[in-house]
A = this chain, B = another copy of it.
């Protein structure tokens, strides 16, 4: 199963593209070079010179265009060769490199690996809560040596907090919480409510809860293709209304590096109106999560990948549980979109008859 191409993927955080240094990054198995031109606009090109395949990312930005480090050809943001320093300076007709549609939004540079004519900013999901113009934001990054869908599975089923993160994020109350999931069109949601829970210190401190206090916690996860998730975690006093509590929203963006490795971008945002406290909290959340993400999730995802290997996920015949509903729904949506795209259709037509599909998938769980 290959990648969905006609979709927006995060290529980098905006602050990774600074000044005159190009950034090399493999995205969906393609070596890509990212850079900013003289006006600060971000561009994404194939990272190989049309002449002799030198990586343009090792070159320099000269007058807003990229100069190849080997023989000095220069390419603009549209991938056109605009300068040949040799001989009569003529540029061969085929001296161009592929340029990808790029849009900068929500503190990130997004790129569209499919047909340029289909790239539509309206298809970008809303992540306004991490828009740096209105919010204090902070972000983290991990490279994961696992298929990006395994990361989506992980985020769509937070029951694993109890077992994989017992000392940082979880508690004995998680697995027995109330879980609901569903989907609408291309969007999948999973909502977990945990009652009468004693939080781990890292979580309690983040929500301003005194140690040992009994609380209710909810964790709402929303997924959209190809791997863009919003997670809202909220905490309130046990038995209190949610409105009396506080929430922490976060964005989780999964971009395949290769078939078996993933760029995991994540970010927290809180309104600028929260002032210094908001600024401190988003930093606290990102820095604190790096430990369980890196030391607990990441080794697990990589172990799963190592176990599955090159095989298809379904060929490994997982024994599914009700907690897998959201993750499986997301996998099915991706599969039908990729099938539609390969058949030459718009992948967004693939999930129209959504109600019927949901029922079919549920009944397979009951059988399990």
Whether A272 sits at the interface, judged by CB under 8 Å, is no
CB-nearest residue of chain B to A53 = B307
Give residues 288-323 of A contacting B (CB, 8 Å): 299-300, 303-304, 307-308, 316-323
Q: Which residues in B have their C-beta under 8 angstroms from that of A53?
A: 304, 307-308, 316, 318
Q: Could you say which residues of chain B place their CB within 8 Å of the CB of A323?
A: 71, 86-87
Count residues of chain A with CB under 8 A from any CB of chain B.
52
A135 within 8 A of B: no
A71 and B160 within 8 A (CB)? yes
A179 interface residue, CB < 8 Å from B?
Answer: yes
Known: A58-B303, A179-B87. A319 touches B51 (CB 8 A): yes
Say yes or no: A86 contacts B175, CB within 8 Å.
yes
Among A314-354, those with CB < 8 Å from B are 316-324
Give the distance in Å from the alpha carbon of A72 to the alpha carbon of B52 in the complex. Answer: 50
Instruction: Check B51–A92 contact: CB distance below 8 A.
Output: no
Please encode chain A, from 33 to 51, with 1 for each CB lying within 8 Å of some chain B CB and 0 for all others.
0000000000000011011
Residues in B with CB closer than 8 Å to A157 are: 71
Query: Would you call A196 an interface residue if the criterion is a C-beta within 8 Å of the partner chain's C-beta atoms?
Result: no
Cα–Cα distance between A222 and B246 once the two chains are bound (Å): 73
A55 at the interface (CB under 8 A from B): yes
Give the 5 A-B CB pairs with smallest separation, nearest first. A95-B319, A92-B368, A85-B175, A50-B319, A72-B163
A54-B303, A69-B164, A85-B175 known; 10 new pairs, CB 8 Å cut-off, are: A31-B307, A47-B307, A50-B319, A70-B164, A72-B163, A86-B175, A87-B323, A92-B320, A93-B368, A94-B368
